[in-house]
Amino acid sequence: MSILEIDAGNTRLKWRVTKQGDVIARGVVNNTSPEDMVEAIAGEVESTEECWLASVRGAEVIAALSLAIQKRFSVSVQIPKPENGVGGLFVNEVDPARLGMDRWLAMLGARKLYPDQPVMVVDSGTALTLDVVNGAGVFQGGLICPGLKTMLKAMADSADLLVMPPEPVLERGLTFASIQAVQNGALTMAVSLVEREAERFGQNIKVILCGGDGQLLAGNMAIPVQLEPELVFEGLSVALKNAEREE
């Protein structure tokens, strides 16, 4: 069976098609209208037998996106529901739904790829989220901070003379010009946060990076990290296969 899997974030939509567990196509679409995003996918995907959708967008956008997918591909759209204990992930302090879909699925994906191992999941996109799960699969808590582009936009919006280039170059460390200092400052803050939290939990923890800026962070870390760009998709498969077993 071919499955169209979609991860719709605040800035862009990632998709891939799997068949018997193998990825046969993938792509990224910048956020526009739900109909235009689905048409962009249809330009690469002729047909699919099923669709799995995960999104952090609002209910109206998710509903519109689901409808556009149903009309274009004539398939049902499966959306996971965060529940405690799925995939061996236990969120005991709060309702898993209050974590946000992306955080829950990323942790599920980490449990799937690195079972019985303590993990720190860092998803760097519009926001930077950092979540820790111990070796028994119990959620230990997390942090949410502005993502790199969000930090840069906030600085540019707050200072009249700061004009960010369309494609900022972020490096770690001290620099001279104000604009470059702002860019380097954002990256250094993000990287230092991850390194500090990893140090607190010790050498046994596996630090896993995903999200749009995951590769940039990974290339500037002073600690061992594992880049898993499709971690949310891995969690999506765990969540929906569990739902199928319960039906």
Q: Binding site for substrate: what residues are annotated?
A: 100-103, 178
- The binding site for ATP consists of 7-14, 126
* Residues paired with residue 210 on neighbouring β-strands, in sequence order: 123
- The binding site for K(+) consists of 123
Give the Cβ contact number of residue 50 at 10 Å.
16
Is 107 exposed, middle or buried, given 0-12, 13-18 or 19+ CB atoms closer than 10 A?
buried
Residue 40: CB partners within 8 Å, gap ≥ 6? 27, 29, 32
Residue 223: CB partners within 8 Å, gap ≥ 6? 194, 195, 198, 199, 207
**Whole-angstrom distance, CA of residue 2 vs CA of residue 19:** 4
- The binding site consists of 7-14, 100-103, 123, 126, 178
Give the Cβ contact number of residue 201 at 10 Å.
15
Cα dihedral sign, 151-152-158-159: positive
Question: Is 102 designated active site?
Answer: yes
Among 133, 130, 157, residue whose Cα is nearest residue 144: 130
SS3 content of the chain, % helix, strand, coil (to 5): 40, 25, 35
Catalytic entry in 22, 36, 95, 102: 102
Q: Which two tokens stand for residue 50?
A: 């099923």
Among 235, 237, 7, residue whose Cα is nearest residue 111: 235
For the annotated catalytic residues, the residue numbers are 102
